[in-house]
Structure 1
Amino acid sequence: MHAPDRAPSYAHPARLILILSLAATVGLGIGRFAYALVLPDMRETLGWSYSAAGFMNTINAVGYLVGALLASRLIQRVGWAAAIRGGTVACVVALATCALTGNFVALSLARLVLGLGAAAGFVAGGALAATIAQSRPERANFLLSLFYAGPGIGILSSGLIAPFTLQYFGSGSWWIVWWALTLLSVAMTIPLFLIRIESSVRFSEGGHGSFAILPVLIYLAGYFLFGAGYIAYMTFMIAYVRDGGGGAMAQAAFWGLIGLSAFVTPWAWRGVLALDRGGLATAIILGTNAAGAALPMLGHSPAWLAISAVVFGVAFFAVVGSTTAFVRFNYPPQVWPTAIAAMTISFGVGQTLGPIVVGAITDALGSLSYALNVSAALLALGAVAALCQRKVAGRANGE
């Protein structure tokens, strides 16, 4: 992706980026993650195994991976505005489909479309947000962090809606929750049509420079393990809270704490993200993520669950930022798109395999606690892998 010679001027950059973040709110915060809130009722009502329940997030991850890999071509073909708005509208339609049917195939296709739409909105919206942030260099990091708060807003808002809706309407009301989330998503999509979305940034047609996988293979393995580990926690944790006797208030509080954590992430990790020492920053954040995922093993008490949500959430939202920082520290700008694409593929494959594999383990062993054990172990292994990554010799700072 090549930036224009002179960064364009934006009158209200913070407002523009916050509105663009609504694409991530709908596609990821609601489209991907709110499924965990509805999963226990869907599984019981529709008679799913944990493997089937995990598959619904696996197929969503497949859609996201494919969408992310095709995003640059989509932006070239239809433009920034159509990619962001079209992807978000596709998510809204898919959410409505989830409310209309209990058919496994139809729901799988809806989850697939949710992944595709979320990728289009997130990748295009994030790239455009980065361009807008660059127009204010002195505030660029803060402005860009506003976009990445989008998923947190979706997690927080869905956590305030889904548990209480299920409590009010009772068992089998999962489809009503999907309607409520669809209406919320419609409201959040409208502002995207009320702003002018444009950019002179273009994705280049040719290669982006030299990128070799071997020097960063261990780092890619760590990011793969993060993808597999985090999604297992985010898929099954609400079911764990509910199985432990947590009612609507406990579920809403737990999910809300994860969402709120997104807003403190930029400040919590500012110093760590500045570490230019190979994979050290990612290792520290992933280790914290693993600790958060492991805490529920110590008990079902509200205190432990609350601490788990906060620790996991604060680290969870920072991992992507740490990989971006790693790429910026170790490669010249012309290689960034290729390097980030490699990271996306590694993460996407892990995110695709994680839910269905952990679901199968849970089915075989008969307890959700095993799912959390596996999740924490995968994240811890990812931290160890990242710690083994050294700086990429001869490539840092454009060398």
Structure 2
Amino acid sequence: MHAPELHQTYAHPARLILILSLAPTVGLGIGRFAYALVLPDMRDTLTWSYSAAGFMNTVNAAGYLAGALLASHMIRTFGLAASVRWGTLACVLSLALCAMSGNFYVLSFARLLAGVGAAAGFVGGGALAATIAQSRPERANFLLSLFYAGPGIGILASGLVAPFVLQGFGPGSWWIVWWAMTALAVIMTIPVLLAPLHADTTATETAAAKFAITPVLIYLTGYFLFGAGYIAYMTFMIAYVRDAGGGAAAQSAFWSLIGLSAFVTPWVWRRVLALDRGGLATTIILGVNAIGAAMPIFGQSVWLLAPSALVFGVAFFAVVGSTTAFVRFNYPPQAWPTAIAAMTISFGIGQTLGPIVVGAITDAMGSLSFALNVSAAMLALGAVLSAFQRKVGQKPS
């Protein structure tokens, strides 16, 4: 579709993209990241090692990777809107399964299902959000960034609920938290199911998509490092805050600060996201993300942890948005689902390896601080590599 046709089809693009953003709110903000809030109690109650705890996010990331690998086929077969809706419903089911059993294998399957569903919702939702944003070319980057702020809503909502549920019901109440997360997800899924997402305009447009890995290999490597690096911070920082003596209020405040950061992301980064200069936007945003991740290395005071959450959060949500902006600048619309899926696969491999490796490092070294050092270093290296990405088709000077 051309911009005038899109303008007519999507009369209220901001509202539609905000509704679409509820898919990653459920799939990522709650389905993936709320695990960090429940992890300390699950580890204590179920007597897990850090490696076992990390494995739960590894299997979630493996599901996300599998979903990303299947996303292009699902979108061609069922359309963007159906992929978003079914993926989000799968995430809701996975949350309910987490509440029903403490069995390691059942929980592993639930985390795997959450990953598959989140990827379907994220890839389909990202491509559909990019299409809707094109209806207002002058505001496209701002509109697109609204979608990627979605996980922040889930992080904020879970951060305001989970620590206090745990405090109120006491040790061993992790399963009650999962029921609370399921209820939140159900409420947020209803608008996604009811929204007029025009599924009939999508499936045939992806058939001619072409995407080559070689021209963007260095960019994909940087995005892989982002996936491997950020997940350690998001998996273990609540445990780090608790180990520093932080109770429910401190844990809630820290997590909520990360979520709140998402709401300013579209305004903070809109000019950076408009930079059509290869990987430059990703380098700038990922560099800030690395700074936020590195702050806890220097101590556990509130004056380091609070700014860390804010700086990490405000960049974290925008890194993914910068990759979609990169795709939008460098590929025709019919290639967007395939290109976004390729980015998501690279990211998925990184975040599949990250938690289990960092968990093993923590078990071996006996300290979460060392794991956070590794996390920040991977994010910094990803920022450096992204700087070398040129526009697709442009030879290095």
Deviation at 1:115, TM superposition (A): 0.7
- Mark the CA change 1:259 to 1:375 in structure 2 (over 3 Å): closer, same or farther: same
Q: Which residue matches 1:255?
A: 255
Q: Distance in 2 between matches of 1:329 and 1:205?
A: 17
With normalisation by structure 2, the TM-score equals 0.92
- Mark the CA change 1:4 to 1:287 in structure 2 (over 3 Å): closer, same or farther: closer
Q: Which residue matches 1:233?
A: 233
CA displacement, residues 279-310 of structure 1 (integer Å, 9 cap, x when unaligned) = 23222211111110110111111121000001
CA displacement, residues 191-234 of structure 1 (integer Å, 9 cap, x when unaligned) = 22333332312355655336241x43322221111100001110
Q: Which residue matches 1:121?
A: 121
- Mark the CA change 1:12 to 1:326 in structure 2 (over 3 Å): closer, same or farther: closer
Q: Which residue matches 1:270?
A: 270
Is residue 141 of structure 1 aligned with residue 144 of structure 2?
A: no
Report if aligned partners of 1:3, 1:202 keep a CA contact under 8 Å in 2: no
Q: Which residue matches 1:44?
A: 44
CA-based RMSD of the aligned residues comes to 2.2
Specify the code of the residue in structure 2 equivalent to 1:223.
Y
Q: Distance in 2 between matches of 1:281 and 1:90?
A: 33
Q: Which residue matches 2:153?
A: 153
Q: Distance in 2 between matches of 1:280 and 1:357?
A: 29
- Mark the CA change 1:335 to 1:19 in structure 2 (over 3 Å): closer, same or farther: closer
Aligned-partner SS, 1:262: helix
Q: Which residue matches 1:281?
A: 281
Q: Between the two proteins, what is the percent identity of the paired residues? A: 75
Query: Which stretch shifts more, 142-151 or 238-247?
Result: 142-151
- Mark the CA change 1:315 to 1:154 in structure 2 (over 3 Å): closer, same or farther: same
Aligned-partner SS, 1:278: coil
Deviation at 1:338, TM superposition (A): 4.3
With normalisation by structure 1, the TM-score equals 0.92
Q: Which runs of 5+ in 1 are unaligned?
A: none
Task: Report 1:170-319 matches (<5 A).
Answer: 170-199=170-199, 200-204=201-205, 206=207, 208-209=209-210, 211-213=212-214, 215-319=215-319
Is residue 78 of structure 1 aligned with residue 78 of structure 2?
A: yes
Deviation at 1:322, TM superposition (A): 2.0
Q: How many residues align?
A: 394
Deviation at 1:337, TM superposition (A): 4.5
Q: Distance in 2 between matches of 1:279 and 1:93?
A: 37
Deviation at 1:332, TM superposition (A): 5.2
Deviation at 1:329, TM superposition (A): 4.0
Q: Which residue matches 1:162?
A: 162
- Mark the CA change 1:182 to 1:332 in structure 2 (over 3 Å): closer, same or farther: closer
- Mark the CA change 1:198 to 1:143 in structure 2 (over 3 Å): closer, same or farther: same
Q: Which runs of 5+ in 2 are unaligned?
A: none
Report if aligned partners of 2:141, 2:325 keep a CA contact under 8 Å in 1: no
Query: Which stretch shifts more, 8-17 or 376-385?
Result: 8-17
Report if aligned partners of 1:27, 1:114 keep a CA contact under 8 Å in 2: yes
Specify the code of the residue in structure 2 equivalent to 1:202.
A
Report if aligned partners of 2:72, 2:341 keep a CA contact under 8 Å in 1: no
Deviation at 1:275, TM superposition (A): 3.0
Specify the code of the residue in structure 1 equivalent to 2:209.
H
Q: Distance in 2 between matches of 1:32 and 1:134?
A: 29
Specify the code of the residue in structure 1 equivalent to 2:54.
G
